Amino acid sequence: MNVRERLPLRSREPSSERSGVRHVRVGETGDGQRIDNFLARTLKGVPKDRIYRLLRRGEVRVNRARVKPDFRLNIGDDVRLPPVDLPVGGSAPTPGPNARALLREIVLFEDDGLLVLDKPSGMAVHGGSGVSLGVIEMLRGLRPDAPFLELAHRLDRETSGCLLIAKRRSVLRRLHEAMRNGRIGKEYLCLVRDPWLSATRIDARLRRGAPRSGERLVRIDDEDGKASVTLFTPVDHWSHGGWGGSLVRARLVTGRTHQIRVHAAGAGHPLAGDDKYGDREFNQHLREIELRRMFLHAAKIVLPAGVAGPRLEISAPLPRDLASLLARLGLTDAPT
């Protein structure tokens, strides 16, 4: 079932009011928080793409200075908020009656400081760019009394699997520090074109290019890109209808936007169903055997001791649609 059908929204007729210029002093709950996330919480109901426009144009200032979306706040910082249309009268979308049941289905792990979800394909991790309700907005809507809920990282909308959400500021800081130091293990399963014959380390710097036709693409740029490393290990090989390829495990050493997709394509093995970096004819063949989305699944995440408590190893089973495709390709014993 489509995620949109499982997660209906409640909303009232749109209405808004124009706020004036405001100055907000950062308190303890905002200490160390990214400015884009701080604005999403402070300007409730304002779309994420609108928030990023405010930052790009310099309409939001921290201590009178322009800042980028990844700027981290400190206690006592003065945040200038420009005039903006704020929803009133409950016009912001809220989770519908099936959302709570969906949440129960997708929780893989939870304790006092950490929540790990098995994010369904088709669900954005946050609202914005035409998406009114993402995973984090759903959680905040279902848990209005929760003092803190923040994404620790992101997954593409089509990617399914393990998603980390911090329930405490201290846990979020440790998660981010561990990610920067490469101490968190992130393992993905992906289906690729052409047989991948041996384990491969791809160390190719990545750079986000200028927007093209409304979307921003990532490309390999060994001079100006950011250091990016992925380890690919073939699991099994398949052939069908004149095409062939491999099921591959991809382990992230760094965590750049679209890293697995771009590295795999650059190695001559584009991901099945990838409309941005993939092979159109290859994708069309797999659509004929009912692959309806990109084959990329965040299968496992490993947190070392001390990041969010004791050592944790959490796995997300392969979704039914992807498992069914593997069966059609003769990979019935593929790991999940």
Question: Residue 25 has which token pair?
Answer: 């002093």
The pTM assigned to this predicted structure is: 0.78
What pairing do the DSSP bridges indicate for beta strands 160-166 and 296-303?
A: parallel
**CB count in 10 Å sphere of residue 71:** 17
The pLDDT tens digits for 78-109 are 999 998 876 655 445 567 778 888 888 999 99
Instruction: Tell me the C-alpha distance between 25 and 109, whole Å.
Output: 34
pLDDT for position 26: 87
Does residue 14 carry a pLDDT above 50?
A: no
Q: Could you tell me which residues come within 8 angstroms of residue 221 by beta carbon, excluding any fewer than 6 positions away?
A: 205, 206, 207
Alpha helices by DSSP H, the chain? 3-6, 35-42, 48-56, 99-106, 135-142, 169-180, 259-266, 280-288, 320-328
Burial of 217 (0-12, 13-18, 19+ CB in 10 A): middle
| Inter-CA distances, 40 with 4, 19, 49, 159, Å | 22, 15, 10, 23
Out of 28-32, 130-134, 147-151, 273-277, which region has the weakest mean confidence (pLDDT)?
130-134
Q: Which of the following is catalytic: 156, 194, 221, 321?
A: 156
Does residue 126 carry a pLDDT above 50?
A: yes
HEC letters along 151-215: ECCCCCCCCEEEEEEECCHHHHHHHHHHHHCCCCEEEEEEEEECCCCCCEEEECCEEEEEEECCE
Q: For CATH 3.10.290.10, list the domain ranges present in the chain.
A: 20-87
pLDDT-derived band at 274, boundaries 50, 70, 90: very high
187 φ/ψ angles, rounded to the nearest 5 degrees? -120, 130
Domain range 97-174, its CATH number among 3.20.20.70, 3.30.2350.10, 2.115.10.20, 3.10.450.50: 3.30.2350.10
The backbone region for 296, taken as left when phi is positive above 0, alpha when psi lies in -120 to 50, beta otherwise, is: beta
pLDDT for position 127: 72
Q: Could you tell me which residues come within 8 angstroms of residue 65 by beta carbon, excluding any fewer than 6 positions away?
A: none
Q: For CATH 3.30.2350.10, list the domain ranges present in the chain.
A: 97-174, 183-328
Does residue 3 carry a pLDDT above 90?
A: no
Out of 2-6, 72-76, 131-135, which region has the weakest mean confidence (pLDDT)?
2-6
Q: Could you tell me which residues come within 8 angstroms of residue 29 by beta carbon, excluding any fewer than 6 positions away?
A: 147, 148, 169
Instruction: Tell me the C-alpha distance between 153 and 21, whole Å.
Output: 31
pLDDT for position 46: 80
Instruction: Tell me the C-alpha distance between 265 and 248, whole Å.
Output: 13
Name the more confident of 205 and 32. Answer: 205
Are the C-beta atoms of 267 and 202 separated by less than 8 Å? yes
What number is the average pLDDT over the span 309-315?
94
The backbone region for 330, taken as left when phi is positive above 0, alpha when psi lies in -120 to 50, beta otherwise, is: left
CATH of domain 183-328: 3.30.2350.10
pLDDT-derived band at 121, boundaries 50, 70, 90: very high
Q: What's domain 20-87's superfamily in CATH? A: RNA-binding S4 domain (3.10.290.10)
Active site includes 36?
no
